[in-house]
Amino acid sequence: MIERIHTNQRMSKIVKHCGVVYLCGQVGSGTTLAEQTEDCLGRIDKLLCEAGSSRAHILQAIVWLADMAEFDEMNAIWDAWIPQGAAPARACGEAKLADADLRVEIIVTAAVVG
């Protein structure tokens, strides 16, 4: 069974299937990369909790940065957020994001807890 949560014509924010949670790409508010990254990760936390998962159960993360020069700054925030020993498979690349003011977008796949 496929469960779709917060669905509209274009997408679902959460899709659950066979014990796996797929989140749509998340962006954050703020003007700096740090503000946007912290807000984005907070949104991911809320969606994972709603889906019955958590950051400790992330299987894969795909991070898009508007500028790879900000890679180290984003990683410092990411490293503090991800639980010790729970680092997921992760990719990071540079991309033109949907809005010129966006600096980071993160896509997450996680396991459902229990």
pLDDT average, residue stretch 1-23: 97
Measured between alpha carbons, how far is 45 from 59 in angstroms, rounded to an integer? Answer: 14
Q: Where residue 31 falls among pLDDT bands split at 50, 70, 90?
A: very high
pLDDT average, residue stretch 98-106: 96
Locus of tokens 């807890």? 113
pLDDT average, residue stretch 55-82: 98
Q: What 3-state DSSP class applies to 13?
A: strand
Residue 94, pLDDT score = 98
Q: Where are the domains of the chain?
A: 2-111
* CATH 3.30.160.20 given to domain 2-111: no
Residues contacting residue 50 through CB under 8 Å, at least 6 positions apart? 5, 14
Mean pLDDT of the chain: 97
Residue 114, pLDDT score = 74
pLDDT digits (tens, 9 = 90+) for 80-100: 999 999 999 999 999 999 999
Residues contacting residue 23 through CB under 8 Å, at least 6 positions apart? 13, 14, 44, 47, 48, 51, 107, 108, 109, 110
Residue 32, pLDDT score = 97
